[in-house]
């Protein structure tokens, strides 16, 4: 899909790159010739809303200035997934992309801190909204007498979502974690401060450094020598994207998150002949026309549809869980109330 999306940019003489860091005055992009500092082309910034600006994780089309080791970003390739948040300073519901094209979101929580199912659920929902696959990671297993019990509690919370037990201290479960990220895929670690995300990154970074060194020794050109803290290569060919802001993903309304990434797709049905078009075999369907003409990538369309279904399920589920928590809270209050009343009357349990 990337190659197809890039074809027109290649014809324009541009080269591909990936944004790994956003700074106040520009970006850092990784290309096949290493890292370059980059700025967005004036035209790109001028035409786009905030959401159309380059973001960390974006695949972009660049023109390079090799003498200065800088580049200009001319276009952003269609995003497969995106973590979105509402800009903190802006009341006008301005949306920002925190990270694009993330395949796997590790929702990290520690076994010793009290497990907070509701918080985990929020992170899971954020992951689903982004389009990434969530995986729950329970850290510091070495501090827990019976980690399986806690793990079961989380499995019950989100059936079907993998739950991994890890301990950086005992080097436990790290292989299983890596195995979740397929070659070419990108993952992020999200979760509260103190749960052990840096420790995980450091564990992988150490391996990355070692791997890079091995490549450097094998290849005297030193072409692959860049090892950046923001984009860490996993031995299996996956990547960890770990930049400021990603770890504490804020939530926006689920619908908004999807709209931010799939704005163009959401506009399409307006041109279908029938208002209730299911885009299956109705005549005058704009979606099918776009698919046939190649204007709409079939993978993106499939992903969009899947996301819509998942979102509906996540919302329904969040509602159910909230009700359940409330029911249990009330039941607890009632029990407490009855107990106090009995005690008031001098009756003992
Ligand atoms: P972050 O804020 O999520 O990045 O958390 P850190 O990685 O900074 O970890 C917070 C604390 O937990 C540090 O003191 C770590 O040494 C400790 N920690 C991290 N992983 C483990 C582990 O597997 N076992 C134990 N016992 N402590 C850990
Ligand atoms: Zn249609």
Output the pLDDT for position 256.
56
Return the closest-CA partner of residue 41 out of 55, 62, 23. 62
Q: What is the C-alpha to C-alpha distance for residues 290 and 296, in angstroms, rounded to an integer?
A: 5
Nearest CA to ligand 1 atom 20: 196
pLDDT band for 84, please (50, 70, 90 cuts). confident
Output the pLDDT for position 276.
92
User: Over 60: is that where the pLDDT of 50 sits?
Assistant: yes
Alpha carbons within 13 A on the beta-carbon side of 2 = 14
Ligand 1 binding pocket includes 167 (Cβ within 6 Å):
yes
Ligand 1 binding pocket includes 247 (Cβ within 6 Å):
no
pLDDT band for 225, please (50, 70, 90 cuts). very low
Residues whose CB is less than 8 angstroms from the CB of residue 109 and which lie 6 or more positions away in sequence, other chains included: 115, 116, 119, 120, 136, 137, 138, 139, 191, 192, 195
User: Over 80: is that where the pLDDT of 327 sits?
Assistant: no
User: Over 70: is that where the pLDDT of 226 sits?
Assistant: no
Between the CA of 233 and the centroid of ligand 1 the distance, in Å, is 21
| Higher local confidence (pLDDT), 189 or 225 | 189
User: Over 80: is that where the pLDDT of 188 sits?
Assistant: yes
Over residues 59-87, mean pLDDT: 86
Q: Give the containing element (helix H, strand E) for 259.
A: helix 254-261
Q: Which residues surround ligand 2, an ion (CB under 5 A)?
A: 272, 277, 279, 285, 287
Maximum average pLDDT range among 43-52, 54-63, 202-211, 337-346: 54-63
| Higher local confidence (pLDDT), 193 or 115 | 193
Task: Answer whether CATH 2.40.50.140 is correct for domain 2-76.
Answer: yes
Over residues 320-333, mean pLDDT: 65
Nearest CA to ligand 1 atom 15: 196
Between the CA of 168 and the centroid of ligand 1 the distance, in Å, is 8
Q: State in words which class domain 82-242 has.
A: alpha beta
Ligand 1 binding pocket includes 132 (Cβ within 6 Å):
no
| Higher local confidence (pLDDT), 156 or 214 | 156
Q: How far is CA 100 from the centre of its chain?
A: 7
User: Over 50: is that where the pLDDT of 91 sits?
Assistant: no
Q: pLDDT per residue over 92-141, tens digit each? A: 456 678 889 999 999 998 887 666 776 787 788 788 878 889 999 999 99
Q: pLDDT per residue over 11-45, tens digit each? A: 999 999 999 988 888 999 998 888 899 999 988 88
Ligand 1 binding pocket includes 139 (Cβ within 6 Å):
yes
Tokens coding 248: 């504490």
Nearest CA to ligand 1 atom 24: 140
Output the pLDDT for position 32.
85
Average pLDDT, the chain: 79
Between the CA of 217 and the centroid of ligand 2 the distance, in Å, is 56
pLDDT band for 252, please (50, 70, 90 cuts). very low
| Cβ 5 vs Cβ 297: under 8 Å | yes
Nearest CA to ligand 1 atom 27: 140
User: Over 80: is that where the pLDDT of 207 sits?
Assistant: no
Output the pLDDT for position 49.
67
Indicate the domain borders of the chain.
2-76, 82-242
Q: pLDDT per residue over 257-284, tens digit each? A: 566 667 778 889 999 999 999 999 999 9
Index of the ligand 1 atom closest to the CA of residue 247: 3
Q: How far is CA 47 from the centre of its chain?
A: 26
Over residues 154-179, mean pLDDT: 88
| Higher local confidence (pLDDT), 51 or 92 | 51
User: Over 70: is that where the pLDDT of 208 sits?
Assistant: no
Q: What is the C-alpha to C-alpha distance for residues 140 and 170, in angstroms, rounded to an integer?
A: 9
pLDDT band for 53, please (50, 70, 90 cuts). confident
Ligand 1 binding pocket includes 169 (Cβ within 6 Å):
yes
Between the CA of 174 and the centroid of ligand 1 the distance, in Å, is 14
- What secondary structure letter does DSSP report for 241? E
- The ligand that comes nearest to the alpha carbon of residue 301 is 2
- The size of the chain, in residues, is 349
Tokens coding 115: 């497990």
| Cβ 212 vs Cβ 128: under 8 Å | no
């Amino acid at each position: 899909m990337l190659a197809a999306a890039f074809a027109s940019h290649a014809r324009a003489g541009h080269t591909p790159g990936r944004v790994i860091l956003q700074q106040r005055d520009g970006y850092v992009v990784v290309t096949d010739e290493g890292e370059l500092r980059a700025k967005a082309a004036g035209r790109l910034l001028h035409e786009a809303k905030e959401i159309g600006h380059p973001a960390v994780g974006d695949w972009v089309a660049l023109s390079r200035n090799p003498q200065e080791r800088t580049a200009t970003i001319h276009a952003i390739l269609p995003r497969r997934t995106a973590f979105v948040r509402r800009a903190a300073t802006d009341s006008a519901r301005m949306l920002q992309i925190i990270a694009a094209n993330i395949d796997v979101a590790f929702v990290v929580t520690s076994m010793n801190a009290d497990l907070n199912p509701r918080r985990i659920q929020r992170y899971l929902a954020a992951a689903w909204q982004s389009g990434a696959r969530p995986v729950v990671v329970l850290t510091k297993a070495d501090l827990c007498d019976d980690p399986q019990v806690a793990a079961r509690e989380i499995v019950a919370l989100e059936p079907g979502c993998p739950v991994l037990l890890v301990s950086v201290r005992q080097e436990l479960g790290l292989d299983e974690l890596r195995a979740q990220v397929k070659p070419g895929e990108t993952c992020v670690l999200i979760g509260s401060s103190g749960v052990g995300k840096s420790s995980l990154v450091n564990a992988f970074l150490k391996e990355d450094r070692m791997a890079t060194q091995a490549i450097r020794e094998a290849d005297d050109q030193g072409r692959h020598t860049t090892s950046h803290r923001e984009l860490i290569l996993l031995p299996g060919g996956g990547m960890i994207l770990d930049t400021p802001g990603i770890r504490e993903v804020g939530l926006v309304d689920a619908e908004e998150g999807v709209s931010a990434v799939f704005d163009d797709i959401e506009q399409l049905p307006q041109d279908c002949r029938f208002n209730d078009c299911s885009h299956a075999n109705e005549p005058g369907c704009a979606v099918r026309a776009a698919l046939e003409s190649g204007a709409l990538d079939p993978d993106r369309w499939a992903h969009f549809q899947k996301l819509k279904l998942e979102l509906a399920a996540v919302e329904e589920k969040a509602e159910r869980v909230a009700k359940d928590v409330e029911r249990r809270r009330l039941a607890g209050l009632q029990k407490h109330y009855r107990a106090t009343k009995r005690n008031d009357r001098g009756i003992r349990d």
